[in-house]
Amino acid sequence: MKMTLAEIARVVDANFNEALGDVTVTSVAFDTRDLQAGGLFVPLKGDRDGHSFIPEAVKKQAAATFIARDHAPFVTSIPQLVVDDPLQAMQALARYYLLMKVNPKVVAITGSNGKTTTKDMTAAVLATQYHVVKTPKNYNNEIGVPMTILSMDPNTEILVVEMGMDRPGQLSALSQLAEPDVAVITMIGEAHIEFFQTRDRIADAKMEILDGVKEDGLFIYNGDEPLLRERAEAVDLAKKTFGVNPDNDLFVKNVRAFSDHTEFDLSRWPDLHFDIPVMGEYNVTNALAAILVGRKFHIKPEAIQRALATFKITENRTQWLTGNQGEAILSDVYNANPTAMKAVIRDFSQFQCAGRRIAVLGDMLELGDASAQLHASVASELKPEAVDEVFLYGQEIQPLLEALQATYAPEHLHYYPVGQQAAMITALQAMITPNDLVLLKASHGMHLENVLTALTSSVND
């Protein structure tokens, strides 16, 4: 980007020294570690007040900084734009830059699971024909979305933006900021059910992504989900559905799952065979969403096929690693909810294994009053003939322990409460052999990454 302070001040309704109006800003950052010389610093409220980092922004040769009105006057050597709220000012600037400066087509993607993977697949498909910018990492909230917009090159033709939410109204605001041409909902799960109470309310919140969609926009959604089917009936937009069921506009056939890739065929192009470099049948539906977006922008089927075969995922949350004993470890410790946990266990149970399959599972957080029921429901995917040893860690996971006691012998069921992770690591290290497969899955707050580090430390040294 390239804008003068005078233009920025007009957009965000800021007070500033007009004599400095011709100072040029070439980037925006809210973290001084990412700040480039000539950039605009946005001090946000977090664990620390962002204004305390302004001296560091000066050292980084920032061109200017926002200042919250309740912090003015603020003593600094760089130009300052005084605004009511720096975050709102950044959002206003992002909207202006998007609509008035770059004006790309916008694809917005949300869902309880699969947002990031679908974003990466979609961007790869569209990049075969267009200049595409996508959400970096998981910058999908009220800070990340405007930062993604402000990072666009002026020649961006399509912006693929991931949108997350953990409260009502959040997706509505993000959608109205970005004004999507295409909105995608991957699925409705139980993520954040502690705050929303029911899947119906989660579905209502996900539908907010349509609040800013252009009148001639397209709504792409998982047609296997009745909650979305019901709500889509009242939507006055063009619509396309994807899924497994044959009543979808695009449905999958002949899925062939492997530990490091997944093959599938489609109803629409029976002579084309697709192969995506990620495990899990659940990732096939993510690919279907990306395919529908690609077809909206007239990408040829053969180009879509090639793009999906080589796409790169932003953050490999289901990653195969080699452990200290030579065992294969499937690490998925970034996040967890019941839908995702069941899906990864289902796939893990089918992988070829010369030794034992060992599942290490931790609490799934933010499930609220439904926690006990949802943890216990995971038992449906754990079978002694498929998963030999089950290690459970945490407090919320105890109902799963109780449910598994009906099918697992005590010597194959291992429970460790919070605070005994070290003891669990010691037991795992004593048990694991070179031919075993190990699954690690829990919410990030359970810190199973410590278990992963212990099981792989000698390999990484």
For the annotated binding site for ATP, the residues are 111-117
Strand, helix or coil for residue 66: strand
Binding residues: 111-117
Contacts of 320 (CB under 8 A, 6+ apart): 259, 260, 328, 329, 330, 331
**And the tokens for 416?**
């460790």
Please give the DSSP secondary-structure letter assigned to residue 403: H
For 282, counting Cβ atoms within 10 Å of its Cβ (0-12 exposed, 13-18 middle, 19+ buried), the class is buried
Alpha-carbon gap, residue 224 to 210, rounded angstroms: 19
Alpha-carbon gap, residue 375 to 336, rounded angstroms: 11
CB neighbour burial string for 309-331, b if at least 16 within 10 angstroms, e if fewer:
eebebbeebbbebebbbebbbbb
Write the CA distances from 404 to 213, 305, 348, 380, 407, integer angstroms.
46, 41, 18, 9, 5
- For the four alpha carbons of 222, 105, 316 and 113, in that order, the dihedral sign comes to negative
- For the four alpha carbons of 434, 440, 446 and 447, in that order, the dihedral sign comes to positive
For 399, counting Cβ atoms within 10 Å of its Cβ (0-12 exposed, 13-18 middle, 19+ buried), the class is middle
Alpha-carbon gap, residue 320 to 15, rounded angstroms: 53
Whether the ω angle into residue 399 lies within 30 degrees of 0, i.e. cis, is no
Q: Which amino acid, one-letter code, is at 325?
A: Q
